[in-house]
Structure 1
Amino acid sequence: MEASVKIISFEDQYREDFGRLNFAWLEKYFYIEEYDKKVLGDPRTYILDPGGHIYLALIDGAVAGTVALIARGEDTFELSKMAVSEEYLGQRVGQKLMYACIHFAAELGSRRLFLDSNTILTPAITLYKKVGFKEIPVPKDSPYERCNIRMELML
């Protein structure tokens, strides 16, 4: 049976959970880059204060997943820092976080979402395609060494 997932906006009480889930995900699939340490260590400065947003997925009060929207210009957000706890995989947590981001960006009048990822993350790439993201060239200035695919969704 699929658990009831509640999507909420970031509050400082969840700062450690935001970092913990993302660091665990990075260590499982890649390694933690300097840029990750900065952003995850101080999400208020690097995501929220410049006009971004963070969502958390709660299941029975526990943080099951996270995602961030980082402001990248007047009408563009980068979808970033999506992580789902191992114990909640397969319960559509990532999908629900993704739809919350798309809705939020559209409500603000944003025209574009993009994300940087890696093709070894087959379930994530499949989800992105399912909601309408299309592959575009990876720019040389991506802040992530692990990035080998960039995708965008025009809203």
Structure 2
Amino acid sequence: MQIEIISFDPKYASAFYEFNIEWLETFFYVEDYDKEVLSNPDEHILGPGGHIFFAKEENEILGTVALLKRGEGIFELTKMAVPPKQRGKNVGQLLMQHCINFAKENEFKKLFLYSNTKLENAIYIYRKYGFIEVPVETDSPYERSNIKMELQLS
């Protein structure tokens, strides 16, 4: 069995929503902004030029991630979630590597993300993939974020 990364398919929209809600409820809380984006990925992510990917093994979705367009060639890496029973299989790292490869292939200028320093393992992985810490702007879209990281691609 091999894990493949696939692009958004509406039949997996519920996994995108449920995985992210579970993750947020486990580590933080669900903000109104999260509910809006997760409930309407076509409107908030795909329509404006973003992308959603799923890690899939046979017929099972193992995890998800989104690239939210924030400017010309600038995308926010967001909504990465892997359900508890799939954690520890490097699914998050596979999704991260896919996003970076996809960004390079499509000549994106930069990827950035918001996180929280209490997620030490996630921060370690972001650094491992070349993301560096930059100041969080005062009007960050997430109340829970206390760290912003970016990866310059060009």
Say yes or no: does 1:27 pair with 2:25: yes
Identity %: 53
The root-mean-square deviation of aligned C-alpha atoms, in Å, is 0.9
1:18-57 pair list within 5 angstroms: 18-57=16-55
Letter paired with 1:8: I
1:110-125 pair list within 5 angstroms: 110-125=108-123
Unaligned runs of 5+ in 2: none
Over residues 116-149 of structure 1, what are the superposed CA-to-partner deviations in whole Å (9 max), with x where a residue is unaligned? 0001111111110000000000001111000000
1:129 to 121, 127, 130: 127
**Which aligned runs of 4 or more in structure 1 are off by greater than 6 angstroms?**
none
CA distance in 1, matches of 2:4, 2:105: 19
SS in structure 2 at match of 1:132: coil
SS in structure 1 at match of 2:118: coil
The aligned length equals 153
100-109 or 62-71: bigger deviation: 100-109
Letter paired with 1:75: G
Q: In the alignment, what sits opposite 1:6?
A: 4
Over residues 66-114 of structure 1, what are the superposed CA-to-partner deviations in whole Å (9 max), with x where a residue is unaligned? 0000001001000000001111111110000001111111122111000
